[in-house]
Amino acid sequence: MAFLIIKSACIVALNYTIHVENDIIILMPEFDLAILGGGPAGYVAALRAAQLGAKVALIEKDKVGGTCLNRGCIPTKALITCTNFYEKIQKAQDLGIKVEKISLEVTKIFQRKKQIVERLVKGVEFLLRKNQVELIWGVGKILAPNKIEVRDQNENRFEISSKRLILATGSSALPLPGANFDHERFLSSDDLLEEKLLPKKLNIVGGGVIGIHFAFIFSTLGSEVTIYEIQPEILPECDQEIVKNFKKILAAKKIKLLTSTRFDPKQTSDPTLICIGRRPNLSGLENLPLKIENHRVWVNEKMETNLPGIYAAGDLVSNKMFAHVAFEQGIVAAENALGKNRIFSYEAIPYALYTIPEIAGVGYTEKQAQEKFGEIKVGKFPFAALGIAHAQGETEGFIKVIADQNNKILGVHILGANASELLGSATIAIKNGLTVKQLGEVFQAHPSYPEGLQEAALNALKKSLHIIS
């Protein structure tokens, strides 16, 4: 930390805040921009602001990278990569490969996850240092619009001043009423990311992305998994036809799914993962008269709160709690805080599940498109009609393209191998307002999975060549 701490009765300071505590004078640099929270929104905002020449302070109480890097996206994908690969090896005989006596070394799987996370955290810290971002470790509390108090792990308190402020305090897992997290019986996703529990039976409350990922991981590790979902359907972000087909995959993996079912904590003593949603972290922001809507901090399209000069980004404000949303919001907030004019839009937000097979989508689902636009066009292409899918033994699933009556692409939804990779082209198409005609006219390498995206677009126009339109 580049603060000057000295004992002196008289001192002259330029561009520093003087703070006195226990006869210690702490000279605190004044910043152009201070960011509270070092998760995806916060650290990316810090890097972008530094690129623009600002003097930036980033305040973080734990580890940079936030939930996504330390306790979410990355560690779960590290685990599910291992379990998915194990499942594929079990099917190697279908490819003419004889494999005997394969087994899972759970300790090594979790060690690998830990090493990946540590490596990436160090990478983020390196980027911050190289961009001359002042990384301040401690718990931040907003005292005034341009002043933040920080309490470090030794309970030392000091203040920093800043011309502008970005709030990026993230979110925390919601507990279930009557089943508060005790880290033994009632678990958060944090608990299951540590190799201290491999239950014979595992209940999962919540059929969203987090619940489905952990269901796949622990089912492969040998647990008997039951998913409880209070809503009539799982995966509310997904297209209903995708979900209908995916439920057959869950059944084939012997993952028990109970929809329209309220979990009763009194009916079981088995370990239970609670993943029913997340709530924004508002602690430390109490001194700001922020506008709150639906438990989130309100921001406009420029990511500015109702208080001029104070911006917010990430799970604190977002109705789509994805790391890639937080990244973009952090960039928009940083640029606007430094005088630029950027706008954030929720249009064309992609999502992906790294199951076997994968699920991915962007834009309107078929039901949403029908409700908003009335008559629509839908084109589908099965993986079973793709040469590359047969060659690689990945014939399960399909690609769906949804367009309006003017052929503008409204949504793309995929169940199948490499869905998350195919999604990139689909997102570009929707973001740039392309039509199914334009997508269908872009011929792809053969054999390849993108051929399926082209064929689905052609199918929406009744021009598909490799299936009957």
Homologous superfamily, domain 186-275: FAD/NAD(P)-binding domain (3.50.50.60)
At the top level of CATH, the class of 351-460 is alpha beta
CA distance 24 to 139: 21
Chain centre to alpha carbon of residue 130: 26
CATH 3.50.50.60 segments of the chain: 30-66+125-171+280-337, 186-275
Contact 32, 54 (CB under 8 A): yes
**Residue among 257, 170, 255 nearest 206 (CA):** 257
**Residue among 209, 207, 242 nearest 402 (CA):** 242
Residue 318: CB partners within 8 Å, gap ≥ 6? Answer: 296, 325, 326, 329
Q: Is 183 a catalytic residue?
A: no
**Active-site option among 324, 390, 446, 466:** 446
**Is domain 30-66+125-171+280-337 given the CATH code 3.50.50.60 in the classification?**
yes
| pLDDT given at position 194 | 86
Q: Is the four-CA dihedral 426, 427, 429, 435 of positive or negative sign?
A: positive
| pLDDT given at position 90 | 92
Distances (CA, A) of 411 to 99, 300, 399, 400, 460: 41, 25, 11, 8, 12
**Residue among 236, 432, 445 nearest 348 (CA):** 432
Contact 420, 370 (CB under 8 A): no
| pLDDT given at position 178 | 87
CA distance 173 to 179: 13
Which pLDDT tens digits describe the chain residue by residue (469 residues)? Answer: 455 443 333 333 335 555 555 544 455 678 999 999 999 999 999 999 999 999 999 999 999 999 999 999 999 999 999 999 999 999 999 999 999 889 999 999 999 999 999 999 999 999 999 999 999 999 999 999 999 999 988 888 889 999 999 999 999 999 998 899 998 899 999 999 987 778 999 999 999 999 999 999 999 999 999 999 999 999 999 999 999 999 999 999 999 999 999 999 998 899 999 999 999 999 999 999 999 999 999 999 999 999 999 999 999 999 999 999 999 999 999 999 999 999 999 999 999 999 999 999 999 999 999 999 999 999 999 999 999 999 999 999 999 999 999 999 999 999 999 999 999 999 999 999 999 999 999 999 999 999 999 999 999 999 999 998 7
Q: Which long-range contacts does 345-349 make (Cβ < 8 Å, 24+ apart)?
A: 345/301, 346/319, 346/320, 347/430, 347/431, 348/427, 348/430, 348/431, 349/320, 349/322, 349/324, 349/325
- Token duo for residue 449: 């999975």
